[in-house]
Each structure stands twice: as C-alpha cells, then as structure tokens.
Structure 1
Amino acid sequence: MIGIVFALGAAFSWTYACYLWRYQTKYLSASQINITKNIIALIIFSPVILTFDFQPGFIEILILLLSGIIGIAIGDTFYIISLSKLGTRRTLTVEALSPIIAAIVGSFLLQEMLSLKMWIGVFIVSISLVGVALQKTKNNKYITSKKDKKEGFAFAILSVLCAVIAASLSRFVLKNSDLTPFQTTEIRLLGSIVALFPFIRNDLIGSIKRIPLQNKSRLLYATFLGTNIGILLQQNVFKLLPIGLGWTLLSTSPVIALFFARAEGEVLNWKTLVLTATTICGVGIVFI
C-alpha cells in the first residue's frame, strides 16, 4: 500500500513541477533548465553523500551513475524540449506508454514476463494516444506548427524510453544492494550533472540572473518538488513495486495534468477527455 501512495505522490509532484518548469523555457534552454535543477537538487540532498560506503557498492554506483545519465541528463532534457513544444497535458499523456515499455524492458533486464492483459493494454493505450495526438486544441497559445507538434511527440517518446531504461537499472540496484532510495537519488543526480556539464553554455549564470524573481522562485520550488521529492518517491516505488506496476501508477500524470490545461491556454473538448480516459483505462488493464 505504501508503494502505491509513493507512486501517486510522485505523479502529482512531477506533474506540477512540469507545469512550473515550462515557464522557464522562455529564459533557459532545455539543457540549462535540466542541469540547473539537478545542481540545486544535488545540493539539497548533499548530506546523503556522508552515508555512502563506496568500495563494497562500486559496481552499483556505476550502474546508478549510468541510470542518472540516461534517465535524468538525456531523458529529462528530451522531456523539457517536449514540454516547450507540446504543453504539460500532451507530454504527460505520451507517458502513458511507459508501463508498456517498462514491462517489455523488464522482461529482458529483470526477467519479468508479459501477460495477455498487457498486450490488450498496449493496443488500447496506443489507439488512445494516436487519437490524442490528432486532436486539435482550441486557443492553444504554445503549439504554433505541425513541425513543433511532431517533434514534441518524438522527444516525449524518447524521454519515456530513457526513463524506463534508467528505472530498470535503478530497480536492479535497489533489489540487489543495501543502498537506500535517498542514496540512489543522489548518485543518479551526480551522474546527470557530470553528463550535462560539458554542454553548459558560458552564459548560464547570466541567463539565470535575467530570470524574473518570481520565476526564480518557481524554478526553485519546481526543482524541490519534481526533482528532490519526485525522484525520491520514484526510487521508493522502484524498490517496493515491480517496474510494470510502478510505472502504471506513475502514469496517472495525464489525469492530474488536466487541472493545468486551462492555465496553459487549452480548451478541452469531450473527445480529448474521452481519449485521455481510455488511455488511463488501457494503463489500468496492465495494473489489474
């Protein structure tokens, strides 16, 4: 039960943080936002470093560093790009694919077998997502072209693949070592910063200084909520629940994102609501 609570909490934290991060794309690039939030999150959790016992867990630490590079450095950068092109709701709706992808990846990496109901879920989710992608949204002030729309969905799918692979690596370590979710979160954040550091533009500090004070507060709050709390809860989910089940619950984000749709200039029609509901139903079939 506690794993389910952690998963739903992580879904809410991540959804609200995405809504706040999107406002920063006016001032910072996706990679700048990503490394800024990761550095802030690493500093917040820095006391955890004192609890590490590096030698016995050297291999596990390397795996977690790789997980951070794939999931946070690469995956989150793709995710933020998708947010800037698609908006919170559409980007999070693509995430409904993650339990299906997680089940497939888990079958190879963690010896998890797929059942018939999972394939039924694949079909329902896929059809629903195609419908969502084709829906026209009235008064959307962010999506300006079909090119942005296509690129946004491509980056969203790539971010999901990165997240699922990274999650599988994290679950492997959490199942086979004594490392805690706090420790694995900090190691993954460190890996992401190492990977992103060479790509920082010289004007990062200057760009941050130009951000209005209100947006700086949003960036800090979104980082604490989405990166520190979100990833920590996510790591607990990976420890307590199988990948397929965990990602099913984490993928309730599209439902939560509907509460932010109006603030992003979207007017939802009944087709969009029905297709979003069937997406979640398809994910739910995997859970049942």
Structure 2
Amino acid sequence: MNMSRIGEIAALATACCWTISATSFEIAGKKVGSLSVNYIRLVIGFIFISVYSYFTRGMFFPIDATASNWIWLTISGLIGFFIGDLFLFQSYLEVGSRISMLIMAASPPITAILGFFIMKERIDMIGVLGMSITMVGIAMVILSKNPEDKNIEVKYSVKGLTYAFLGALGQSVGLIFSKIGMGDYSPFAATQIRIIAGFISFTVLFIILNKWEDLKAALKEKQAMVHITVGSVFGPFVGVSLSLISIKYTSAGISSTITSIVPVLIIPLSILVFKEKVKTKEILGAVVSVVGVALLFI
C-alpha cells in the first residue's frame, strides 16, 4: 500500500469519527453547555492519547518534540482546539451538528486558499469552480424563498451559522499550522501538544468567566459524561490523530476533500438520533457541497 493510500484511508476514517463525535457532543452540549463539553473532552482525549503513546512510544508526554514542533503545534492547538472549537461547539447548540458540519464543508476551500498563500500550493480554474459549487451546496440548505414576498431568507440562526463558519476557519488555519509543525514527528504526540495548548487556553477562559460550578455540575451528569467520553474518543483522540496521519501522508487538500463527506454521513444520524425531518433539497445540497470540495482538488 503506498503512502498516499494510507493518507486517504485515514481521511475517510477521520470523517466517520467526526460524524460520531459531532453527534455525541451536540447531545452532551444540550445537557451541560458547550464550554463544559469542550473542557472535559480535552481532558479525556489527553488521557486516552497519553496512555496510547506510552504503549506505542514508551512515553506519556511528548518530551522528544523539538522547539519547532512545540511552537507550531501549540499555535495550531490554540487556533484549532480552542478558538475554532469554541465557536463550533456553540454552533451545535444554535443550529445543530448537521448544519454545523455542512458549514464546515467550507473548510477545504479555506484550507486551499491558505495553502496557496502560505505553502504555495496551486489552485487552478477547476479548483475555483469547486469552491463555487461547494458554496452553492451550502446555500441550497441554509437559504429558502419566502412564499409571501418571494425574497430569499436564511432558514437558520445567523449567529449559529457564523459560529460554524468561524469553526471552519479555525480548523483550516489549525490544519495548516499542524502540517508545518508536525513534519516527520508522531501524529499522536503532535495531537498531545495541540490538546495541551487547547486545555491551557480553556483553563484561562474558565478562570476569567468563573465557570467552575458549571463544570462540577457537568461532571455529575452521567448521561452527558457518557456522550462526552464517546465524543472524546472519536474526536480529540482517534479522529484528530487520524487527520494528522492523513495530512502526513497526503496533501492537506486531498485530506480535507475526503473528510468533507461528514455533512452527508451525519444525515442518517440526525434523522435517527434527533428525529430531524431532512428535506430532499437539504440532502442534495449536502451532496453538492461535497462534490464541490472534490472538484477543488482534482
């Protein structure tokens, strides 16, 4: 099996993990709030990944990382795990994980644009077409025509959609810095560094906002903790690590393309778990957005 195929398989597995984690975190967030979910899932994720690193690398802590690894991966964790996820998890509560993941389909075009400016990656006319199609697919879902005045209106919370877009932006910027900072370093150890950066950032936020009582209450919610644990295993532990394996063995663009199928994968879960009534137009919009992402990197 060649290296590019390893990257593609890892990206597909990442998409499945993020579908499960997004659904789990939405359920938990509705019970205990997005801030507590964010904080607890980083702690659980770090414990899992540290134990795994001990058995596979012989060390709990990434003490073999270079100064360059620490600097770039810390920046990546600050942007991705803290700023990006801060907005993304709140968008789950505002518009739900299905719509949030659809907006996250904008991440690959953003990644491509950032890759063009930062890493000199090429974007051709087909790529521009792909970006446009992705945006059309998203618009098909979030926009509708008012039957009374025939004006186009946004079907979902603008605040929630904005949060989701900021989450997509955070993921894209974090991905670029991850690729710069990781190099040939262990993807799992790299994830440890990113989680540490996210954990410290959220700790500071909790101190500023004095949200410790909310955190204590969340820890006592057994059902919420089960969902946070499931989401943590498939999110910060397996999912993020697989995404780093993916970008290690293939380009950031190809990795983003494959992982972008989450908006389609999450539809059956939204119907089964949240009893959402998903319209055919919305399913088509999700498919169109993924097609656009695929075109972006042909």
TM-score over 0.5 (shorter chain):
yes
Alignment of 1:23-38 (within 5 A): 23-38=27-42
Shift of 1:206: 2.3
1:207 aligns with 2:211: no
3-state SS of paired residue (1:261): helix
3-state SS of paired residue (2:32): coil
1:196 aligns with 2:202: yes
Alignment of 1:173-188 (within 5 A): 173-175=181-183, 178-188=184-194
Contact residue 8 and residue 258 of structure 2 kept, 8 A: yes
Contact residue 27 and residue 207 of structure 1 kept, 8 A: no
Q: Distance in 2 between matches of 1:279 and 1:53?
A: 40
Shift of 1:94: 0.8
3-state SS of paired residue (1:87): helix
1:134 aligns with 2:138: no
Equivalent residue letter for 1:173: G
Contact residue 11 and residue 251 of structure 1 kept, 8 A: yes
Q: Does 276-285 or 1-10 show the bigger shift? A: 276-285
Shift of 1:150: 0.6
Cα deviations by residue, 1:151-205 (Å, 9 ceiling, x for unpaired): 1110111011111111001111223xx4110110000000001111012212144
Shift of 1:51: 5.1
The aligned residue for residue 163 of structure 1 is 171
Q: Distance in 2 between matches of 1:101 and 1:149?
A: 22
Q: Does 146-155 or 12-21 show the bigger shift? A: 146-155
The aligned residue for residue 239 of structure 1 is 248
Aligned partner of 2:133 among 100, 124, 134: 124
The aligned residue for residue 99 of structure 1 is 108
Contact residue 138 and residue 285 of structure 2 kept, 8 A: yes
Shift of 1:18: 0.8
Identity of aligned residues (%): 24
The aligned residue for residue 224 of structure 1 is 233
Shift of 1:276: 1.6
Equivalent residue letter for 2:212: N
Structure 1 residues 169 and 134: CA distance shift in structure 2, 3 A: same
The aligned residue for residue 139 of structure 1 is none
Contact residue 218 and residue 224 of structure 2 kept, 8 A: no
Equivalent residue letter for 1:63: W
Q: Distance in 1 between matches of 2:219 and 2:12?
A: 35
Equivalent residue letter for 1:279: S
Cα deviations by residue, 1:222-252 (Å, 9 ceiling, x for unpaired): 1111120001101101211111111111111
After TM superposition, the score normalised by the length of structure 1 is: 0.90
Q: Distance in 1 between matches of 2:92 and 2:62?
A: 35
Query: CA RMSD for the aligned pairs?
Result: 1.8
Equivalent residue letter for 1:168: I
Shift of 1:131: 1.6
Equivalent residue letter for 1:285: L
**Which aligned segments of 4 or more residues in structure 1 are displaced greater than 6 angstroms?**
none
1:250 aligns with 2:259: yes
Q: How many residues are matched?
A: 274
Contact residue 245 and residue 286 of structure 1 kept, 8 A: no
The aligned residue for residue 73 of structure 1 is 82
Q: Distance in 2 between matches of 1:133 and 1:155?
A: 14
Cα deviations by residue, 1:77-108 (Å, 9 ceiling, x for unpaired): 11111111111211111111111111100111
Structure 1 residues 240 and 135: CA distance shift in structure 2, 3 A: farther
1:17 aligns with 2:21: yes
3-state SS of paired residue (2:64): coil
Equivalent residue letter for 2:39: I
The aligned residue for residue 56 of structure 2 is none
Unaligned runs of 5+ in 1: 137-145
Q: Distance in 2 between matches of 1:36 and 1:76?
A: 13
Shift of 1:4: 0.9
